[in-house]
Structure formats: C-alpha cells, structure tokens
Chains A and B, each alone.
Chain A
Amino acid sequence: MTTQSHPRTDTTIAASARNLTKTYGRGDAQVQALRGVDLDLRRGSFTAIMGPSGSGKSTFMHCLAGLDQASSGSVVVGGTDLGTLSDDALTIFRRMHIGFVFQSFNLLPMLTVLQNILLPLELAGERIDGATQERARVVAESLGVGHRLSHRPAELSGGQQQRVAIARALITTPDLLFADEPTGNLDSVTSADVLDHLQRAVREFGQTVVMVTHDHDAAAYADRIVTLRDGRVV
C-alpha cells in the first residue's frame, strides 16, 4: 500500500463505506460478494482497488457508486448517505456527483463526441449554452480529443473513446470519478496515456478518482492501492 501526499490534497473525506455487505441469490445459490468492507476515500486522492476475479471489487465499486444497493452497511458520498435515497433520488445523485469510465461501451453510438460529453448535463435538463459548450471544449482539449468533437464514437480509436469518457465524467465536476477497468481493452501505450489523464485529473483538478483494475501497472498510477479478497479488504 503506497500513500503519497500532495500539496493540494484536501484532508476531508470524499466517500466512505462502513461494514458493507452484499449477498446475491438465496439458499444454496447464495453468494456473499462483500463481507463487511470499511473504507474511507480522501478528497483529491487516486485510489486503485485490486483483487482477483470474484474478489468482489466490481460489486464494491457498484455499491460505492450508487449503481447497486448494498445488503447492509452504509455508503456516504459527499456527505449523502446513499442508503437513504430512492431509486430516482439515487439516479439524480449519480448524475450530479459521480462520474463513470467503464471498460468498454462508454459512449452512445448515435451521439457525437460533444453530445456524449454533454450528456450528463443534458439528462439533468440543464440549458446547454455557449459557456457550457466552451467548458466541454476545454475539457476535451485537455484530454486531447478537442479536434474530434463532431465525430461519432465508431470513428475514434479505443484510447480516444476512453478519453472522451473521462471528459464526460469530468464535465459535472463530480465528488467521485469511478473507473472500472478503464484500460482493459487497450494496448500498453494507449493505457499509459489514459492513466496519465486520470492522474492529471487528480493532480490538476483535485478530482477524487477510484479505479478498479487487476493490472498492477495501471494500479501503480494510484496514490493508494486497496486489495480485496473474498469480499474483504486485505
């Protein structure tokens, strides 16, 4: 476990999980994916969650990100207890406070790059004015996809698609940015590029990033590595 400090790192907690458990199925088919996980994530930190297949790392991330409800325990993100929220409230919370970068299928194929980046704002019913578009352009520029704004995802390379996904996750300045195996489908050079951009989001914008990965090279970009095994932090 490595912990690096950074001058701009805020010491307050961005998210925390307490005694988190998650059970799937019932009877003989019952699977305990999480068996009491405790974790605090500091604001402006870059955390990698590692573990072998079936260790519960994806489940943990889904619970932490409000994509899935935990069986017991609590998740607090940005001061909000996710367990108290209804499905709609949780969805709206996700929209404004949590950003996502998935392994694949991050972008809607029928929308342009710019439309994909603006999508969370569009879903929130925000007015897309010139200033917003300009902000999206700046974010895209900083991720090196500023010249592809009017293209469709199918016309981009895998690395470019992931960088667009990062841009989309950053557009709402979320409390937490989740990356689920963001380099799983990429070659090593492109992977390094994408990870570099995630790291810059932490360093330059003070973003809190949580990355699920089983790739040690990728994890090395994080400030802190949390390893899960059999549903517990080890």
Chain B
Amino acid sequence: MRTVFLASLRTHARRYVAAAIAVVVSVAFLVVIGVLSAGVRRGLMETFGAPFRNADHIVDGDPVETDLDTTAAVAMVERLGDRASGLGRVSVAVQSGGWRGETTIGPVAASEALRWQELVAGRFPERPGEAVMHLWDAQEHEVTIGSVLHVGDGPTAVDLRVVGHVLAPSPVAQASVYVTWPQYLHWRNLPTFHVSRVAVRGDAGPVPAGAALYVPENYVRNGVALLNNRTDTLALMLLLFAGVAISVSVLVIANTLSILLAQRLRDFALLRCVGATRQQVVHAVRAEAAAVGALASVAGVLVGGSLGYGLISTVNTLVPRVPIRTPGLPYAVLLAGFVVGLAVTLVASWLPIRRVLRVSPLAALRPDVGDEPTTSRGRIRFVLALCILVAGLVLLVVSVVLHSMPVMLTGGAGVFGGILLLGPVIVPRLVRLVGAPLTGAGRLAITNAVRNPRRTATTTSSLLLGVTVTSAMLTGLATSRTAVDERRHRQHPLDATITSTAGSLPPGLLDQVRRTVGVGHAIAVEGTAARVSGLDDVVPVLVAPAAAEVARDGGAFARVAPGVIALDRGAFRRNPNIQPGASVTVHAGERTMTLRVVVGRGWGRVGMVSAETLAALTTTPTLQAIWIRASPDADAITLVDAIDDLADPVGARVDDELQARATEEQQMRLLTWSVVALLGISVVIALIGIANTLGLSVLERTREHALLRALGLTRGQLRRMLALEAMLLSIVATALGTVMGVAFAWVGYMAVLRPALEDARMQIPWLSLAAVVVVATLAGLIASVLPSRRAANVAPAAGLSFD
C-alpha cells in the first residue's frame, strides 16, 4: 500500500492545497498569539521591576490587590524623606508651544538609588518648577530641553521648565512628565492624583492601616503574575477567535476530504477488487490525511513564528512604549501549534474516511450514484438535528429567564449545531429562494448549487460559522456601546461650555458661537457671579430653562427646586463642604441666601438654581455661560479650538467633553475593527473552502460543461454560471449567519447584557452588517474566479466522445 499512498499523495497534491491552506492559516494564527503573549510576558518582566530595583521594602495595599490610600502614602513619603520613592501619577491639562492637551505627571525619587527613570539628555529636576519629560512624548509633541510646560488652568496653573529627557520602562508607574516630589504634591487636590506604591530603602517604620510591607523580589514576581493574568485573559480571548478559525478549518477540511474521497471512490473499490482489505485502504487514506496535516502544520508553525517575531520587532520600532520584547523560542507554543494542526486534520478526516470504509468492491463496476439525503439514516439525522435545535432554543429561553451565561452558551451551541445538521435540508431551499429571480444560466447555477445537498450545506456552514460570530460580535459591541453612551450622556450631559470667569460674557458671543462650524446648537445661560460658602472661587449661579435643547440627558440636572443649589460633585471633588443636604450661604452682590445643596455631576464648576432663587439673588441676571451641543459630524479638535479662540479674548473658561468622547469613540472603533479583523481570518478560511469546493466540483463536471458548451453555452455564460453558484452559496450563508448572529446577540442582550448594564439598549448596526453581507458576497464572487476560469477552458467537444 505504500506505493499507492505515495502515488495518490503525488497525484492529488494540488487538490489538497486548499485544505492545507486552511490548516496553515489556523496554526499560524495560534502560533502568532503564542509568540506575542510570550513577548509581552518577557517585556513585563523586564520593565515592571524597574522602580523597585534598589528598594528594601515595598509598601502597597493589604491585600496587594487593594489600592494604597494616597493620603497615607504621601504622609509616609514625607516622613521617610529621601529614603522613600512614591509611585503614582496625576492627569493634568498642559500647553506648550502648539501642543495643548492632557498629560500625566509623576514624581522622581529624591535619592538617586531609587530613581528608576533613565536620563538620556539634560539633568534630573532639582527644585519645583523643573521637569524631565519622557523622550517619546517629548519627540511626539516637539518639547525640547529648555521649553516651558504650562500645566493646569486657572489660578492653580504652574509653569514647568523642561531640564531633561528620560526613558521610563515601568508600565505601572509610567508618566509623560516627571517632577520633584514637592512639585508633585502641588496637584494633591486633583481627583486623579494618586500615590499607589512606596519603595523604601532601610527601615520603613510604622505602616499605615490597610497597607503592608512586601519584599521587592516577591512583589515583582506577584505583580508580573497579576499583569500576566491580564495578558493571559487577552490571549484567551484571542484564542477564542483562533477557536472559531479552527472550527471553520475543520469544516473546510472535512468538506474537501469528503469531496476528494467521493471522487476517488471508484479507485478505492478497484483497490478492494484487486485484494486490498478495508483496513489497508483506510490506513492508506488516513496516512494521506496525516501527511497533509503534518506538512501544513509545519508550514503554519513557520509562517506563524516568523509573523509573530516580525510583528514584535515592528511594534518595537513603531510603538516603542508597548512593553513587548523578543522572547526566546516558545517551544511549547510551536509544538502546540503543530499538534493542533495535525489533530484538526485528523479529526476533520474522521467522517469522510469512515465513508471510504463502507465502499464495496462492486462499487468499482457500477455507474456513479450520488448519495441522496432521503435515506433512513438521513431521516434519523433530521430528527436528531431537530431535537438538538429545539433543546438549544429551550436553553436559550431558560438563559434569558435565569440570566445565565453558561446556559446561554450551551443553548447557542445547540441551536447552531442543529442548524448545521439541518443544513442539507435548509440551505438548498434557501438557495432556491434566493435564486428564484434568476433565469437561463442562472437557473443552472441554482440546480448545480443544490444538486448535492450535503456538500452544499458543509460548504456554506464554514462561512455561516464565521459570519454568525462576526455579526453577533458587531451587534453585541453596538449594543453595549449604547450603555456606555448612555452613562456618558448622564455623567457629561454638556458637550462644551463657555463660562464667564470675570463678571459676565459679552452678549455678541452667543451669535459668534452659533456661527461656528460644528456647533449644532448653543444656548445662552443667564445667572450671576456669586460667592458660595465653603468654595474658594467665585461661582456662577445659573438658571437654564432651555437646557433640554443642548443637554444629552434631557437637561434634568437644570431643573432645580426653589431654595436648592445643585452642585457638580465631580467638579468640586475633594471639597468636603459639598455634601448633599448641607446648607450653604450664597452671596451675590449685596444679597445673601441660604440654600440647600443637592449634588450631581456633569455640568462643571457652576451652581444650578431655580428661576425664583435667581430672582431673589439678583434683579439683573447677565449672560454667564454658553452651552453648546456639537453637531453629529463635528470634528472635536477643530471645534474646541474654534471655541477656545472665541473664549480666550473675553477671558472665559472652556470645558469640553468632545475630545474625551472622540478618543473613546476611536478606541471603540479600534476594538470593533480588531474583532472584525480577527474574525475575518475565519471568513477568509471559509472562502478558501468555497473556492475549493467549487474547484473540485468543476473537475467533476468537466463532461457536463463540455456538453453545455456544445449545446450553446458561451464561455462568459459558463463563467457567470459558476460565479452565480459561488455567490448564491455565500449570500445564503451570509444572510443566514447575519440573522442568526443578530438573534444570538439579542439573546445575549436579554440574558447577560441587560441585567449587567441597565442602560444597554438593543442596537443593530445595520451599516456594519450590510458591509459584512456585501464583502462576503463579493468574496464569494472572487472565490469563483479561478475555478470558473479553469472550467471555461473546457473545449466543447472534450470528454464527449472518449468512450
């Protein structure tokens, strides 16, 4: 049988190409993930430990997962002086040259031994007012040594002179700008200010409550393990995508093999005729599958390995701040990739090879008979599939009632499995339905597409799987995004505000704002400047009856009862005088009132009162603020710049949520596209499968195509016929997959998302889904290009008179 094995491997090598590609892609996917996470782990090990290198003790929360109290940490650093290094950072607004934005500031240790930043130019800061900047940020924002950073706004703003550039490897304590400890404490009242760890040399003395001392070596090891957990979680998610790709590969390989083996059934029967035992035939075929699987897996490991290492060095060059380093060869990952590839091939070949087992020697002598699904086996299969489908549906209903993720996943798997098993019944009907308007060669395309229901079903099922998961993810992301948006709208109802800091705003400003490109709507908010007891600054006290016109949450925050002042707790954070229910005295001009405090957040450093209250405070309310709602297509940065240019000359303050929202939206888009790209790999494998099935079918149908050509089918019609066949299959798979994906997403929303995020509303991303359908259909067309070109080369007379 060895001669037979080798000869058939040689003869059929080309037909195995597609199956091999499916294996290569999945194995490479796995190996890339493995290499990348090994690289991240290595990078974390190298960088995480930097701040703790020369320390004797680390002070952190007890247990280590809890945060160290910042006040206690600050007190400890103050007490220990230059034997301690506080680790933390604060986010502040910064402006320097043309750069305006947000940056992070952290402290440098007083003693050189505990300084973990690496100086690359200039010197370390020695006194308040000096700073070093991270080299990459300095390059990005063109901040040279000697430049001045204008940090913060209002009366607390300070200027920092940049005296050096540093590199700072640690991801846990990294900031963009570093200053001396006393300078760092300047921002201690800002909400983002924190000191989360303290590295200590020598005796640490008493440890504050809720904190503990850790030995640096153990601390680093545990910390890396914790970070690794996050890396591992990420890797696990990526593995899920790889799992989808592998499942698709199994379907593609199984289909390819069953077609290949069906075409060779006569060969096998002939082998049986000349005396090969069942076992011998099956061994030969299994060896063939194993050889293909092994070769493809090796190729996949090589491709994945080089891709992984290539990616790491690309990332290191392009985005050096990502803590990823070239790892040593992760043998376990490479071996796992190989084993998975081989296993996938063998598992996928199991059923097709079992069919070879059943071939009788007589089959060699009989004419071909296609297997029809209306056998008793087919009927049993049908009933079984129906049972699985129904059980899955029941579980899905149960999961909605119980809000149970595991039940939902089991039910989803059941429904999907049932649909796959019912494929030979469902898919051909759908193909007929979709193809109903076609005539001429199109009608032939339909009959060709459905002539072998099981093959049709398996071919589409791989694409079905990929598209279902993709559209479920897209819908799920869009839906959870509504929750994010909703919360953001409630927490930050105003897109942008211009608030007076000196008496009032000039009356013409509103018109100027309204004329600005990107402003959807703007309202004037009147009130009076007031002193509120317990607050340091003058605070505008406002009435905004038209708030609903611009606020994203409907303006509920502006509807305040008489005798009450609503203050934004976020804007006055850490001011202990703002407590719900407390009484404050408000002085406006000569008048004074005592008002009860209610708190909320999202409208900034102003007090909201009722019209009656304002009337009692002043008889001449003035224009105190302009609230702006951006138009949906506004560019955040351009708009904020334009508003700044209007507000600066009149000394008004601009607050905006637009840039933060734009950043968040960009991250969301990035996430969505990453998911789509990762799932795209499965879709690509599925399309290779469609191309392959079509290619093998074309080989089978050479005589038919010759006959059709003789009867008057033009080359173009033949090509169109095959293109239509591929497109019908991909349209049906995509449509069914999209519907199922959205349905699964709906179940996920009902069962898991809605209980967890009350703001979530079911959101179907029509545009993205339409894009998926269009792309998959076009890809079906592309999949048909090679097979149909080969088919069109059949001469009309070929194969008609050879026997």
Given contacts A88-B716, A110-B447, A122-B443, contact A100 B801 (CB under 8 A): no
Number of A-B residue pairs having CB atoms within 8 Å of each other in the complex: 83
Q: Give the nearest-CB partner of B439 in chain A.
A: A125
Partner of A119, one of B369, B711, B716: B711
Binding site for A on B (CB under 8 A): 369-370, 439-441, 443-444, 447-448, 451, 703-704, 707-717, 795-797, 799-801, 803
Q: Is A104 part of the binding interface, using a Cβ–Cβ cutoff of 8 Å? A: yes
Contact across chains for A100 and B716 when beta carbons are under 8 A apart = no
Given contacts A58-B801, A122-B440, A124-B712, contact A68 B795 (CB under 8 A): yes
Contact across chains for A111 and B703 when beta carbons are under 8 A apart = no
CA distance A123 to B711 in the complex (A): 8
Q: How far is the CB of B698 from chain A (nearest CB, A)?
A: 15
List which A66-116 residues lie within 8 A (CB) of chain B. 67-68, 87-88, 91-92, 94-96, 100, 102-106, 108-111
Max count, chain A CB within 10 A of own CB: residue among B440, B711, B717: B711
Q: Is A181 part of the binding interface, using a Cβ–Cβ cutoff of 8 Å? A: yes
Max count, chain A CB within 10 A of own CB: residue among B370, B795, B797, B803: B797
Given contacts A110-B448, A122-B443, contact A91 B714 (CB under 8 A): yes
CA distance A96 to B711 in the complex (A): 9
Contact across chains for A87 and B797 when beta carbons are under 8 A apart = no
Q: Give the nearest-CB partner of A58 in chain B.
A: B801
Q: How far is the CB of B444 from chain A (nearest CB, A)?
A: 8
CA distance A106 to B711 in the complex (A): 10
Q: Give the nearest-CB partner of B369 in chain A.
A: A154
Q: B714: which A residues are within 8 A, CB to CB?
A: 87-88, 91-92
Q: How far is the CB of A67 from chain B (nearest CB, A)?
A: 4
Given contacts A91-B712, A120-B712, contact A102 B707 (CB under 8 A): yes
Contact across chains for B800 and A102 when beta carbons are under 8 A apart = yes
Q: How far is the CB of A96 from chain B (nearest CB, A)?
A: 7
Contact across chains for B715 and A123 when beta carbons are under 8 A apart = no
Partner of B712, one of A62, A94, A106: A94
A-B contact pairs, 29 of them (CB 8 A): A65-B710, A67-B710, A67-B795, A67-B796, A67-B797, A68-B797, A87-B714, A87-B715, A91-B709, A91-B713, A91-B796, A95-B711, A95-B713, A100-B710, A100-B711, A102-B707, A102-B801, A105-B703, A108-B707, A110-B447, A119-B711, A120-B711, A120-B712, A122-B439, A122-B444, A123-B713, A125-B439, A180-B801, A181-B801
Partner of B440, one of A91, A123, A154: A123
Q: B441: which A residues are within 8 A, CB to CB?
A: 123
Contact across chains for A88 and B715 when beta carbons are under 8 A apart = yes
Q: How far is the CB of B621 from chain A (nearest CB, A)?
A: 78
Q: How large is the interface on A (under 10, 10 to 19, 20 to 34, 35 or more residues)?
A: 20 to 34
Q: How far is the CB of A227 from chain B (nearest CB, A)?
A: 19
Max count, chain B CB within 10 A of own CB: residue among A65, A68, A119, A123: A123
List which A40-75 residues lie within 8 A (CB) of chain B. 58, 62, 65, 67-68
Q: B451: which A residues are within 8 A, CB to CB?
A: 109-110
Contact across chains for B800 and A123 when beta carbons are under 8 A apart = no
Max count, chain A CB within 10 A of own CB: residue among B796, B799, B801: B801
Q: Give the nearest-CB partner of A111 in chain B.
A: B447
Q: How far is the CB of A124 from chain B (nearest CB, A)?
A: 7
Max count, chain A CB within 10 A of own CB: residue among B444, B715, B799: B444
Q: How far is the CB of B255 from chain A (nearest CB, A)?
A: 19
CA distance A181 to B451 in the complex (A): 29
Q: A95: which B residues are within 8 A, CB to CB?
A: 711-713
CA distance A80 to B39 in the complex (A): 73
Q: Give the nearest-CB partner of A68 in chain B.
A: B797
Q: How far is the CB of A30 from chain B (nearest CB, A)?
A: 19
Q: B710: which A residues are within 8 A, CB to CB?
A: 65, 67, 94, 100, 102
Q: A62: which B residues are within 8 A, CB to CB?
A: 797
Q: How far is the CB of A170 from chain B (nearest CB, A)?
A: 13
Q: B717: which A residues are within 8 A, CB to CB?
A: 123
Max count, chain B CB within 10 A of own CB: residue among A65, A88, A91, A104: A91
Contact across chains for B711 and A103 when beta carbons are under 8 A apart = no
Q: How far is the CB of B399 from chain A (nearest CB, A)?
A: 42
